[in-house]
Amino acid sequence: MSELNGKAVIAARDLYKIYRMGDVEVRALDGLTLRIEPGEFVAIMGASGSGKSTLMNILGCLDRPTSGQYVLNGEDVSTLSRNQLAGVRNRYIGFVFQGFNLLSRTSAIENVELPLIYSDTTTKERHKLARESLERVGLADRMDHYPSQLSGGQQQRVAIARALVNQPKLLLADEPTGNLDTKTSLEIIELFHSLNREGMTIVLITHEPDIGEHALRRITLRDGRIVHEEKTS
């Protein structure tokens, strides 16, 4: 397995995810192999139903493949239990979703502190880390605002700050611009670029070619397989 492990953040080989619906078998992932190095900014693209979310769920340790191997940050997570996977997620991965998923009666800074509640940080440390995270996404002046007092783009920035507060190795974003207008979407992509320049590994999942084209490597799925791959040189 040495060729798969090395220093890769993601080394997945021969992933299958098969759903059985009565007599029908759906191969949501059909023998997919993927390697992502530290510091990459990769878009995973493809039409609806091509397997993007299935792949994201497996890469994010939210689900397990039917078969195949997944090594995350040097650790084989293919056969871990659900509890063990939760631990891996907390240590390594920050998630960003289309719907922001912020708590509405909770200020921006409190939303960002949430992932730290179960860690052994003090209240003061949590506050400091959350503040730094909000500064990183350009929201230093909105920390005490509630989600309803923020624009969609600002809410997504809070969600990104929350994803970063645990200092993950990998940022996984599933259709993060799906609820945003074009201009705001490009601002979020620019934020990803600046985080990527600081060294963050980013995997961006999108069905919109206009968004995906901004990543430095682009992978296209169809029927659970990689059918195209290109890199910005």
26 binds ligand ADP (CB under 6 A): yes
Q: Are strands 41-45 and 201-206 parallel, antiparallel or unpaired?
A: parallel
Identify what 50 binds: Mg ion, ligand ADP, none; CB under 5 to 8 Å per kind. ligand ADP
Site membership for ligand ADP, residue 122 (CB under 6 A): no
According to DSSP, residue 123 is labeled H
Written as six digits, the tokens of 97 are: 């979703």
Of the candidates 50, 155, 177, 220, which one interacts with ligand ADP according to CB under 6 A?
50
Instruction: Please answer whether residues 10 and 59 qualify as being in contact, where contact means their C-beta atoms are separated by less than 8 angstroms.
Output: yes
Pairing of strands 67-72, 10-21: antiparallel
Assess 196 for contact with ligand ADP (CB under 6 A): no
Q: Which is nearer to Mg ion, 112 or 203 (CB)?
A: 203
- Which are the contacts of 29, defined by CB distance < 8 A and separation ≥ 6? 15, 16, 17, 51, 54, 55, 58, 65, 68, 224, 225
Q: Return the SS3 of 138.
A: coil
Binding site for Mg ion (CB under 5 A): 52-53
> Interface with ligand ADP includes 66 (CB under 6 A)?
no
Candidate segments 21-29, 68-76, 113-121, 192-200, binder of ligand ADP by CB under 6 A: 21-29
C-beta of 27: minimal distance to ligand ADP in Å?
8
The token pair that represents 52 in the structure block: 């993007």
Asked if 114 and 103 touch (Cβ cutoff 8 Å), the reply is: yes
Name the helix (H) or strand (E) containing 204.
strand 201-206
Size of the site for ligand ADP (CB under 6 A): 12
Binding partner at 26 among ligand ADP, Mg ion, none, C-beta below 5 to 8 Å by kind: ligand ADP
Q: What, of ligand ADP, Mg ion, none, does residue 211 touch, CB below 5 to 8 Å by kind?
A: none
> Is the four-CA dihedral 131, 159, 17, 47 of positive or negative sign?
negative
53 near ligand ADP, judged by CB under 6 A: yes
Taking CB within 5 to 8 Å according to partner kind, which of ligand ADP, Mg ion, none is near residue 69? none
The answer to the question of residue 19 lying near ligand ADP (CB under 6 A) is yes
Report if residue 49 touches ligand ADP, rule: CB under 6 A. yes
Taking the C-alpha atoms of residue 224 and residue 43, their distance in angstroms, rounded to an integer, is 15
> What is the contact surface with ligand ADP in residues (CB under 6 A)?
19, 21, 26, 28, 46, 48-54
